[in-house]
Amino acid sequence: MNAAEFVLEDVAKRFGSERRGHVAVKGLTDRFSNTQSVGIIGESGSGKSTLGRMLCALETATSGSIRFNGEEIADIRASKPKLIQFRRDVQLIGQDTTSSFDPRHSLRESIMYPAMSLTGLSRKEAYEKTDQVVELLGLSPKMADRPSEGVSGGQRQRFAIARALIVEPRILVCDEVVSALDVSVQGGILNFLKTYHRDREAGIIFISHGLPATSFISSELRVMFQGEFVEAGSTRRVVTEPEADYTKKLLAGYRAVPETLEAEVA
Ligand SMILES: Nc1ncnc2c1ncn2[C@@H]1O[C@H](COP(=O)(O)OP(=O)(O)O)[C@@H](O)[C@H]1O
Ligand SMILES: [Mg+2]
């Protein structure tokens, strides 16, 4: 499988004008590769989704550089063939899967069509591959013939993951993928993603405001506060020996002692 890597240098994103706008992200310098599972944690409004959307080429940085496999995201966005390859390599899974599925289509169609246009699979091939990926997620292919309102929230999130995985991405950006789900269904999805990362060497960038899920799935953490990374390191180090005051405050909000954070989700 191909290697894939993001390199970020002093990335900033401002919404609105220089004078009256709002800086959502600033000074981010980092690397993310397909061999890593990196958690990005921070409170609501700290800039996590803006970062995720920039990584997925859905938003452009105001300044600084984001390169994917050596190529500037801005250049990838400007070239249709490059963007198609990029969409095969990097997939976003979001929180609100209700609105991301077109109610006029079956779940199967919503999975098949984008895969066909990105990979050039025939209809028959895409149909069969949809069955495979749906089964991989522990769902029945028969259920895929329903519209998205015909399944539960947890099932719909699994279909959203199937839709991302059908193109065999090298890096998955997961933005609050379990935050809206009951704890009882979160564990299965987190375990699936963790196993997928390990077995396929697909990178995971796991964005969330919830520490237990994030530390369970991620071997590294970035703590985001007001648009900046205030702490970065291995998950174990960050939860056992936090350096930044904000991280200490964040950890204090959890009943569990750090060592049991994993057990809470598993
Ligand atoms: N499209 C946008 N236009 C203007 N402001 C935005 C936009 N998207 C996000 N913001 C602002 O940027 C900040 C960071 O938002 P976001 O990245 O969604 O944070 P998080 O995902 O951590 O909750 C917030 O203050 C938010 O209001
Ligand atoms: Mg968000």
Decide: 42 in ligand 1 pocket, CB within 6 A: yes
Q: What is the pLDDT of residue 30?
A: 98
- Rounded Cα gap, residues 174 and 123, in angstroms: 28
Q: What is the pLDDT of residue 263?
A: 46
Decide: 44 in ligand 1 pocket, CB within 6 A: yes
- Return the structure tokens found at 39: 């958690």
Label each residue of 122-183 as H, E or C. CHHHHHHHHHHHHHHCCCCHHHHHCEHHHCCHHHHHHHHHHHHHCCCCCEEEEECCCCCCCH
Sheet of strand 5-15: strand arrangement: 22-33, 5-15, 63-68, 71-72
- Return the structure tokens found at 158: 């699994």
Q: What is the pLDDT of residue 266?
A: 44
Q: What is the pLDDT of residue 260?
A: 45
Q: Which residues have their alpha-adjacent CB atom under 5 A from ion ligand 2?
A: 48-49
Can you list the residues of the chain whose pLDDT is less than 50?
260, 263, 266
**Ligand 1 atom index nearest CA of 175:** 21
DSSP 188: H
Decide: 50 in ligand 1 pocket, CB within 6 A: yes
Distance from residue 46's CA to the centre of ligand 2 (Å): 8
- Rounded Cα gap, residues 100 and 259, in angstroms: 36
Taken in order of first residue, the domains within the chain and their CATH numbers are 5-255 (3.40.50.300)
The residue contributing the CA closest to ligand 1 atom 12 is: 24
